[in-house]
Amino acid sequence: MKSIFLIGFFFILVCSNAQNKTIIFESGNWASVLAKAKKENKLIFIDAFTTWCGPCKQMAKHVFTNDSVADFFNSKFVNYKFDMEKGEGIDFAKKYQVNCYPNLILIDGNGTLVHRSAGLLEAPVFLAFARNGLTPGKTFVDLKNNYEKEGLNENNVGKYLELINSACFNSSPVVSTYIGTIKEADLIKPNNWELIRDYVHDYKSREATYLVKHLSMFEEKFGKNETEQKVVKLGANYFEPFTRAKDYDKAGFEKAKNDFKGLNWPLSDRILFDADLRITGRFDKRNYYTLASKDFLKYNKENANALNSMAWKFYEEVTDRDQVKAGAEMAKHACELEPNYANLDTYAAVLYKSGNYSEASKAAELSIEKAKEAKLKEEDYKETSELLKKIKANLK
């Protein structure tokens, strides 16, 4: 027994040691880090974080401790963690335009920016980021300069915006400037449509006006669902002064609705419904679910995610039996569109709340089957299993 214990202890020790690697960060001030990088002829990797940033903590816990990541960064860079809201980090954030967290930055010993990205990156992507930062022509600065020297055109503007967005910079001015150079007849080209779809938000803009005027042409080329979603989003922006306001301006909102009807905007009924729903959601919660019960399914028949999300709200907050049944219909339709684990789980929950235990049991069992097919861990669908137990207890 003693020898078995020692072997087991040795195995635990070895495994433990194998998992102890992590990026080693310098503890000195910024000047000392710059001096070390210059002396060793290395770039500095800066983890620009804040104490409240969840993704920053995720990277520190799961990515910086990856063996391959730790080996690469410890050998290739001088590494430094910077809290952007304390001490020297405040000036650093201003100088290097740190707009979101985590911000991942490579700087040389002279303090010159070389490469950057932002957001939670998984280990393989993080390593690719690091390798690009060491490769001339692939760094953020090189790519940005090359695009700007070449001049933006329909072949490179998408890649340029992707680069800008990856560093958490505001790309709207770039889009506005570029899209203003496009001839109206060329707005329907695939690359230009993507710019309209993803970056144009002003319902009064030339691009929005052209889209609405030639809606059938856009629908034919890019699909009705995708095009209608954009038209609805643009129309919804008409009501943002009211839906985002601190206080409810009922008279102003009602006037805005009447004025909007005069624009003859496509899908105006749906847009007006969404505006009413957002207003009641913020200022008149008592009528929010009454309104959603009536028409939410009607206006979201092709949007499984929206239906699932609303049905879950009904499960959590609604007590009126008829309204719960309306939530169940939303969940049912979401499952018909996309019969995945999450949608079936919601359907089972709402059916359970409505008292339809027989159908709830079927939905919960099918949800668990889908979870297993998707190779989810048992802990990932633990709540569904517990729900199934409660459902079956009511079937006895």
CATH 1.25.40 domain span(s) along the chain: 302-396
Residue 196 to residues 162, 182, 267: CA-CA distances in angstroms?
Answer: 15, 11, 18
For 42-68, write each residue's pLDDT tens digit.
999 999 999 999 999 999 999 999 999
Give the neighbor-by-neighbor strand order of the sheet with 103-107: 77-83, 43-49, 103-107, 113-118
d(CA 307, CA 331): 6
Report the 3 state secondary structure along the chain: CHHHHHHHHHHHHHHHHHCCCCCCECCCCHHHHHHHHHHHCCEEEEEEECCCCHHHHHHHHHHCCCHHHHHHHHHHEEEEEEECCCCHHHHHHHHCCCCCCCEEEEECCCCCEEEEEECCCCHHHHHHHHHHHCCCCCCHHHHHHHHHHHCCCCCCHHHHHHHHHHCCCCCHHHHHHHHCCCCHHHCCCHHHHHHHHHHCCCCCCHHHHHHHHCHHHHHHHHCHHHHHHHHHHHHHHHHHHHHCCCCCCHHHHHHHHHHHHCCCCCCHHHHHHHHHHHHHHHHCHHHHHHHHHHHHHHHCCCCHHHHHHHHHHHHHHCCCHHHHHHHHHHHHHHHHHCCCHHHHHHHHHHHHHHCCHHHHHHHHHHHHHHHHHCCCCHHHHHHHHHHHHHHHHHHC
Point out which residues pair with 116 in neighbouring strands: 105
**pTM check: above 0.95:** no
Q: Is the pLDDT of residue 230 over 80?
A: yes
Q: Is the pLDDT of residue 253 over 90?
A: yes
Structure tokens, 284 = 């008149």
Top-level CATH class of 30-135?
A: alpha beta
The band of 19, judged by pLDDT with boundaries at 50, 70 and 90, is low
- Residue range 302-396, CATH number: 1.25.40
Q: Is the pLDDT of residue 274 over 50?
A: yes
For 176-214, write each residue's pLDDT tens digit.
889 999 999 999 999 899 999 999 999 999 999 999 999
CATH 3.40.30.10 domain span(s) along the chain: 30-135
pLDDT in the model for residue 285: 87
Q: Is the pLDDT of residue 99 over 50?
A: yes
